[in-house]
Structure 1
């Protein structure tokens, strides 16, 4: 049956599993709460230009979680 699915242009089962594993398991708003909090507090107190260290740390955390930012 999987041969027919591949011939019809639908995604095979192994491809579905690989795609599911590469997607982030959390929503972006819920990922990396620690770095998000530090980033947000820094921006409120000092402005975005002074917080590049925390902004980049949060981006790195999000990338580690599987997000493309």
Structure 2
């Protein structure tokens, strides 16, 4: 490899194994931005709100929230 000599190779292995493990915080974070998650329910929700008003679309609003929660968002 031609790199610097390693005095304690076990510490390098230890650091690498810690790096490979995902912490609980990063494991539960969403993989997408909230604006891009659940496009199907978002479209239905938005169309309903435009046509009928927010008060009449609770079913679609809640469906979109459930989808976002399933994607890892806290809404």
What TM-score do you get using the length of structure 2 for normalisation? 0.71
Uncovered stretches (5+) of structure 2, i.e. residues with no partner = 1-10, 12-17
State how far apart, in whole Å, the 2-side matches of 1:35 and 1:23 are. Answer: 20
Q: Which residue of 1 aligns with 2:29?
A: 23
Q: Which residue in 2 is equivalent to 1:34? A: 40
Gaps of 5+ in 1: 2-11
Q: CA deviation at 1:21?
A: 1.5
Deviant stretches of 4+, over 2 Å: none
Normalising by the residue count of structure 1, what TM-score does the alignment of the two structures yield?
0.76
Count of residue pairs the alignment pairs up: 59
Structure with bigger gyration radius: 2
Instruction: List aligned pairs for 1:1-69, cutoff 5 A.
Output: 1=11, 13=19, 14=21, 17-18=22-23, 19-69=25-75
Two-structure CA RMSD over aligned residues (Å): 1.8
